[in-house]
Chain A
């Protein structure tokens, strides 16, 4: 027993060490940094306690970033998972040239984020963009819309690009989950009289419930921390309309060298993610549904 205990410590040590050095050290460093005021002009960190939090949260800018982040994350995650799920349901049918179709669907996901962003910048271009030339030729508008430069459309445009890149990932995971659902259970439900939607609700969804949960949490965290697409498409603009935590932190830290403030934003974003993790644990607990006699 004792030997086993030491063995398990020995096996765990490398993982703990890696996490400690690469994850917890910088994270704790960020928290400490957020209590100091550091900037380019004032390179000697001065301890200010919670003063920086007061300053940051006192500005409308912070609440704008928080609201943007939530809109962005909720929209991208919802669309990506819903579209991904239905694409997976389609791909799960017997299709002609199945392998080819699956490979084509997966394509957006294997492209680097920067490439996707540049691609969509062309698509959205007011003069040369595919979207505008389509709208004009269809007679829906007379002159090109500057999708990324307009405060009202920029967020939607960025979300669309991110969903386009992200849905194949969700589809792939859902497809694997769908293929693992016991075929005989679905057949039994068919014979019991359940139609396609009912089978989906009563048999398929409960069977892949945990995959859905993990997938939603995973895409939530990835999306919340998304940087490259937003940065390349809009740099958080226009007038902060698409500024989310990662772009704001990058801009504050490496654009304006206000490290203390950047760290404060960083700590706030960790707080938001911790909330998501807590919700996940709660959702998983709720999984043990009440037992009913019929």
Chain B
């Protein structure tokens, strides 16, 4: 059942580093994160990796496995052949702190730039009434575990540091869509989505959707509809007003 696998793991800190080779035991049912932990326990006690839940729920263990962004805790060893060399590297879009751990503060910065949920001032806690069907769209986006792999993979910033200031990345463009589709949100988010958060940079390549471990249809369900709303709004502000009023009244009925 158990075998020895060949691993190449990126090791380094402070901007320098290299791939290091390891041979390490693998047992039935294990995932890549288990192997990284085994390396820590047996060969490299100071090997840095983030993780928490080990069940795909917290989004801490994002890494690139054979060049593809993945959650280490949800990548089973059985998806590789026994003689394959498995290369594990940190997410490329964010600066490396050490080994597999990157500085993801970009994402927290962006989160803070998106105006928060803005309910009407006259609804009190406990008075909210929403139909399941009206919350489902935003609920899909709220499944996000903030693994930041979509932001990591998006070509707008992957190798373009210069675009970072003006682009929130798919994660936070989706957050705008989530709030815009929230039945009780009254903020106008269209202009800022386009002008401040860089929705226009997105050319719907869907790479973000492909890597999302929560299988959220980021492009189809959040980004494209948001783009359509921006366009509608550009031609006819009444459309937006109408949408909001309609949404509010339908949710009350």
A interacts with B: no
- Listed in ascending order, the chain A residues whose CB lies under 8 Å from chain B are none
